[in-house]
Amino acid sequence: MGNLKTIISGVVLVFLFFFGCSDDKSTNSGTADFDLSGYWSATEVETDNCSGEIETTTSYNIYSIQQSGSNLTVSIEGESGSWTGKITGNTASWNVTMPADNGSTAINFSGTITDGGKKMTGSANWVYTRTGSSFSCNGTTEIEAIKIDSAEVNIAGGWEGSWSAAGGDPNGNFTAEITQNESKLSGTISIPGVMYNAPLNGFVSGESFAFGDIDGEIRFTGSLGTSPDQASGTFYYSAYNINGNWNATRTSMPNTKFVSIVDSFAISLDYINDIAFGESKLFIGSGNMIDVYNTSGTFLQSFPTAGDNTSGITYSDGELLCADGGWGLNKIMRMDPAGKSLINSPRNDYSISGIHFDGAYLWCLIDTYENDYIYKIDQNGSVLDSIACTGEDFGGLTGNDSYLWYSTFKVTGYFPEYKIYQIDFSGAVMDSITLDAYMTPDLVHDGVNLWYWNYSTGFLYKVTNQGTKLDSIALEYNIDDIAFDGTDFLVLGNINDSETNIYKVSTNGENISTINTSLEWPSALTASPDYIWIVEFNKETIYRIPASGDYFFPMPEGDYDFDYLTFDGVIFWASSYENIFSFNQNGGIINIFDDYDFFNCGGIAFDGANIWFANNYESMNLVKIGPDGSIIEKYIADSDMPTLGGLCFDGEYFWMAGSRDYENFYMYKLDLIDMAIAKN
């Protein structure tokens, strides 16, 4: 019954001091006798029989209350969501039923406000009933809540102390790293043998304070001594159900710099690889897709990435840089932020056998072995039209400003007939050429004449649009396809069964340059003076790369897989679970930083001048580092942060992706605050 007890307890606590989710739907704000706005510290003692025997537990929470008339909006510090309620005179009360753990909990609460609105005590009786079962249990929760006054002392820093129960046993030591943001306390607490670097919460009210682990296992209350670096008080240790005394010495003053969540919005993804910011948009990598949002949380578009193993994305100088890790291309692809670098094939069940760019649109020939079509798509991949083809088996596709040509064959009797059909953009057949080629040839048009590749002779033949032979050139390649960029041929193929590349060849057959495609099985291409579009066999995407072929950076060779990536304009910085490392644009390692400070990095970003990373271990820190890995500044989370999934900078604010439950993901806007609190 442990899980059931936890969930029921959570439901009751939600209603014990939040004055929340009341059945009273009135919007009348009225006039209240008390102003409850501010932060409150609540001690809650629950007694129930849900485990089969009577049990009592104590817990602590800090609440934030906003008040309008007699209406209240309340939230728990470090938790998402808020609740509403109402005060009548000096009494808060409600009856409500809430879902809980495959059932529901009915709660009847009444509380009294005293001490001029600075204290509230009350009791809730509740009954849990499991749906479809006769099981039920009940309990009572007593609450005492104190309004937190403005802080008059500063207890931030590192503390070392000891605790001892009445009579001296049990006893032990503790250390705490405390961060103070106005009246709120956060940080970590360690008790040997009990907890290590557990998240801490607490408050300072006037000259008094309280702190402990966020789960409420132990709670220290006290005040500073005659020396501001000495403190003492009492504690309650729920594990032993004991009270006792403690004292401690401040051993260090804190960094007074904080990182705080100032805004957030939900994103519809199952997981996140990394995030980037550019052109006023947030790019969120998930699997082999990029989702794009504006900073207000509006979804803009989605497009595929290169490869299936996205392992870091970043934005730099008009390009989205997407890394595909060691299990994939092992390259950092330079992509168009508008999503035009990769577009989806018109069909995901058959491969493209020929492709042509007419200056505005792409035409894709897809041989399905039954119904064969040429699809017209725009540069975002949207299908605009389709044309049925004549023939039985299909090869190349090419065109000019007015017509398309495609190659095909059909068997008549015992002999195959190879043809090239000329069609207009509506699909009407304008002419055909009968060939002496063996197999359906690849085609290319130079703007004036048609060229086709004869596999059996190894020649590229130049013919008129009507088929009259004009010239031929011998090529040394095993050719998969040919395109024309307005000046030269681009031959997709290999030499002696080596790696498939794109060879730039003059119309006289002279090899000018070579472009490495970096793809596993490229099968077709087309070109313009600015871009080359490449199809990979049995893939659902079409790659668009610059005409120069300079469209990727190599990743470091060896065991250097990473999760997050940024680029400072000269050097790449990457982070994994255990380290941060930098490498040059040729993939050469520059530095590796793997000491404790760099452990469990949750994102890395460049702010235009410096590298920052988010430490996701124990508690979240945002850290600025130098080129040598030296820590320049560290900002500490001012509240419990979600598990991180990437970091980026928008020119003013940092953004991080994350989740508190590994199911619902959000984008969080972060602000850096330097409190510079003076030590009292």
Find the CATH number of the domain harbouring 516: 2.120.10.30
Average pLDDT in the chain: 85
- Taking the C-alpha atoms of residue 284 and residue 22, their distance in angstroms, rounded to an integer, is 38
**What are the strands, taking DSSP E only, across 336-458?**
342-344, 352-357, 362-366, 373-377, 383-388, 393-399, 403-412, 415-424, 429-434, 443-445, 450-454
The per-residue pLDDT for 37 is: 85
Percent of the residues in the chain that have a pLDDT greater than 70, as a whole number: 91
Distances (CA, A) of 336 to 283, 315, 374: 12, 10, 26
- Domain co-membership, 546 together with 559: no
- Domain co-membership, 161 together with 277: no
- Domain co-membership, 436 together with 513: yes
Query: Which helix (DSSP H) or strand (DSSP E) does residue 574 occupy?
Result: strand 572-575
159-168, 326-335, 628-637, 669-678: which has the minimum mean pLDDT? 669-678
Assigned token pair, 41: 């510290």
- Domain co-membership, 519 together with 470: yes
Last residue in a domain, options 202, 234, 254: 254
pLDDT in tens, 48-75: 888 788 888 777 777 788 888 888 777 7
Q: In the 8-state DSSP scheme, what is residue 14?
A: H
Is 311 in a helix, a strand, or coil?
A: strand
Residue type, 448: V
- Taking the C-alpha atoms of residue 401 and residue 425, their distance in angstroms, rounded to an integer, is 10
- Domain co-membership, 135 together with 179: no
The pTM is what?
A: 0.63
The per-residue pLDDT for 680 is: 30
The per-residue pLDDT for 438 is: 65
Domain enclosing residue 661, as ranges:
258-340+554-674
- Domain co-membership, 331 together with 350: no
CA-based nearest residue to 124, from 144, 104, 148: 144
Residue type, 492: L
Q: Is residue 152 part of a domain?
A: no
Please say if the pLDDT value at position 21 is more than 50.
no
The single residue listed with the structure tokens 């006037």 is 206
CA-based nearest residue to 341, from 377, 370, 293, 305: 305
Q: What is the mean pLDDT of residues 547-552?
A: 89
Q: What's the pLDDT band for 618 if we cut at 50, 70, 90? A: low
- Taking the C-alpha atoms of residue 113 and residue 12, their distance in angstroms, rounded to an integer, is 19
Residue type, 44: E
- Domain co-membership, 384 together with 485: yes
Q: In the 8-state DSSP scheme, what is residue 7?
A: H
Q: Is residue 680 part of a domain?
A: no
Assigned token pair, 490: 């681009």
Better pLDDT: 28 or 620: 620
- Taking the C-alpha atoms of residue 606 and residue 649, their distance in angstroms, rounded to an integer, is 7
The sheet carrying 103-114 orders its strands as 83-86, 71-76, 55-68, 38-48, 136-147, 119-130, 103-114, 91-99
Please say if the pLDDT value at position 326 is more than 70.
no
Percent of the residues in the chain that have a pLDDT greater than 90, as a whole number: 42
Is 101 in a helix, a strand, or coil?
A: coil
Q: How many domains does the chain have?
A: 4
Assigned token pair, 542: 């079409």
Which residues in 58-81 are b (16+ Cβ under 10 Å) and which e?
ebbbbbbbebeebbbbbbbbbeee
